[in-house]
Structure 1
Amino acid sequence: MEKKKRCGWCEGDDLYELYHDREWGVPVYDDENIFEFLVLETFQAGLSWITILRKRENFRRAFDDFDYRKIAGYSEDKIQELLGDAGIIRNKLKVRATVSNAAAFMKVQEEFGSFSKYIWGFVNHEPKQNQVVNYKEAPPTTPTSDRLSKDLKKRGFKFVGSTVIYAHMQATGMVNDHEISCFRYDEVQSLQGIKPGKGNR
Structure 2
Amino acid sequence: AALAAGAVLGNNYWWTGVAKYNEYQQMANYVNVDPSVDKGTSFMDAGSVYFKEGSSVDLTKAIAFRNGLTYCVAPIYSEPLEGTGNERKTAAGFVIPKSGTLDFWAVGTDCCGTTGTPFQCHDATSPFARSGLRIVEDNHKAMYQLAVQEWTATTGIPARNPLFFQWVVDPIAVEEHYRSLSSNSMFKLTCGYGIAAFFIAYVLHMVFRHFKVL
TM-score by length of structure 2 reads: 0.31
| TM-score normalised by structure 1 residue count | 0.32
Higher relative contact order (CA 8 A, sep 6+): 1
More strand by share: 2
**Bigger fraction of residues in helix:** 1
